[in-house]
Amino acid sequence: MKVAVLVSGNGTNLQALIDAQASGALAPAELCCVISNRPDAFALQRAQKANIAADVVDHKAFADRTAFETELIAALERHSAEAVVLAGFMRILTEGFVTRFRHRIINTHPALCPAFPGIHAPQQAIDYGVRLTGCTVHFVDAGVDTGPIIFQESTPVGPADDASSLHQRIRALEHRLLPRAVQLLANGRLSLDGRHVVIATD
């Protein structure tokens, strides 16, 4: 399965996918391209270093979200992408885009969904005073971090934590769980029963 990765920033989750591919742990998934909506995203350099096609579709160059997504889909089609991973991609996708890749878009979010959707989730968790937070790997639907959950894992929130230290621990969970979810998708082992993701056994 050819998998495209959409990025906006540093790309640590992308690097986890690249490392998994290099070790053989992503097969039969293959990273076919990395596309950023920001031309200065460091993730593009990670892709180039790994000899993965790296493209830019700058959302600022388009009049509206529909025009941006039309070009984004065209770029995905040029690379024959069959599935999409959002790895720090800071744009909300429309229902039309999600339908185009129905049940083939995976995202990771640094909170235990449905808690703390959107941006700054680790800081939201600290501000709320929760004792546990974590990460969620999920299918993408038309909402914000509301899609069916594939994996979740928790980490405690300590009294000395700030958003940076907490996010660092959450990222370690994401880096382990996201490649596993992509590998399961490529193997045809993920299916949906309503909102429940069913993982077929080996």
Catalytic positions, written as ranges: 109
d(CA 44, CA 35): 8
Contact 135, 109 (CB under 8 A): yes
Look up tokens 């998934």; give the residue. Answer: 29
Contact 6, 87 (CB under 8 A): yes
d(CA 180, CA 37): 25
Look up tokens 């070790």; give the residue. Answer: 23
